[in-house]
Structure 1
Amino acid sequence: MVVIGYRAPVQIVDAVTSLLDQNTPLEIVVVNSGGGDVLALLAGAGIKVPVIEISRRLFVGAARNVGIAATQAPFVAFLADDCLACPGWAEARIERHLAGDRMVASAIVNSHPRNLIACAAHLIMFMRRLPGLPADRALRYGVSFDRRLFDGYGLFDEEMPAGEDTNFLDRLPREPLPVWEPRVQTVHRNETSLVRLFADQYRRGCRRGDYLVASSPKTPFRFFRDTFHDRHNVRKLAKIGLSGRDRTFAMMSLPIVWLALLIKSVGVYAGARDGAKAGKRPQ
């Protein structure tokens, strides 16, 4: 287990605790970059796990690689500092790996399922990773890996601000895909402030646009249009992937979703436009 932190956020204590509370023993290492003192944070909570502190900022791919190098367990999973592992998270992963699956993808659940802003944030980012989705509708991310894959195909790109997991998966053979295992559920702490939600989606859109323009010949406007088109998928996927009151609150959040998606799409356009000006288009 590699827990990835940036600037030692207080919430990383809860992330590590969620792993220590699993029903199976885990090899855990925390990789924190950009400053702060995670060791002191964890010690203050009575937690003793290996910590690697790197003063400069690392992109996620680099932090993943540091954690891979610092561990020995045959299967490797990652947890961001703003996430929690639900009960059974590790056990279900290990069960699938021991059954022969080399990559196991996970579902995402909302930290605040009764808050409309958090519901909107959750649907925008994770509409294709809702726990009720069938395998043919699910996006295969939040993947744990058989360590031997890194020996055969290398590590994560350390220079990419985002999309390092997509880049790595694209280097692997097309078959088999990561197996979809909705029993593996990760809680993501979603924004509960409308202003912060819009600002976050714009930033994410800019990073997404910068990544897309380097890998596709499409125009920035096409990237904008493709991103905003997701508004047609949200309702459908929420109805399939959620149930009960979770679905009800998700439906109520749709107007916020559509506005936030528009803002994200503008960010995608801006990031793609700036990336194209910087000469990042594929040759």
Structure 2
Amino acid sequence: AVQTWMYHADLIGGLAARLAGVRAIAWGIRNSGEHLERSSRSARLVLRACALLSGRVPKAIVCAAQKAAQRHADKGYRRDRLVVISNGYDLSRYAPDAAARARARAEWGVVGDAPVIGCVARWDPLKDHANLLRAVAALVRDGRDAGLRCVLIGRGMTADNPELGALIDRLGLRERLVLAGPSDDVPAAMNGLDLHVLSSCAEGFPNVVAEAMACGVYCVVTDVGDAAYIVGNTGVVVPAEQAEALARGIETALREVAARGRERAGEPARARVLEHFDLARMVQSYIAVWRRISGVQA
């Protein structure tokens, strides 16, 4: 079997496999299908071509998210080819770690028990950091912030990002933020947080949410992609692109963490990842798809 990933590879790799005589082809969709108008023109054109060929080239189309499958079906992909396999995680790597927590907070200059919220995401319009920073600004303005610090982790989360710097200065948040930049140890960064916030306006299956949960971190997410499905009833879900709603969600979550204690508040989140998003389960699901389209019995 041949497995391809994302629109261009699905089209080119799928056609190349067919020309090579391979019939057992599975495409892979990682895009949420939301806000495609913000994608490149080539991506939109390739998506249309894939939709037209989706009943002829692949025998299965694997989506990482339920909403991604629905949106692509609405855009012309063959519904009977679509399969949803949620991402899986190495739960020995993404796990609560007190020593890593202490190291991360020391690196960020966090003193004592000040609540630390954070977002692990590259600088990208779809990640909508402006939404998060406006929410934090609203909390600080109204005295609802509980003295929080906000850590931004990811590519572009650095002082030499002029757009980010201008936004921070406009909102008066320079003293509240830590620009940590890219991390080569995401589990340690997650452990340093008391609350992880996904502020995106579009997602497919946002890995950072499950990774934070696996580390026992309480989460606030915007209702994009499968974020609400991932957190279930273990976190707070708010509408996308509404800074005041996000501010209220963060305020509610901080109260919950303070009342129950960080570890107890995060336990249901890790338990949900253990139950639904284990790496071994994901691997077995892919193997089952590849066997089915190849005609191989389990």
**Does the alignment reach a TM-score above 0.5?**
no
Shorter-chain TM-score: what band? 0.3 to 0.5
Q: TM-score, normalised by structure 2?
A: 0.31
Q: Give TM-score, length-normalised by structure 1.
A: 0.32
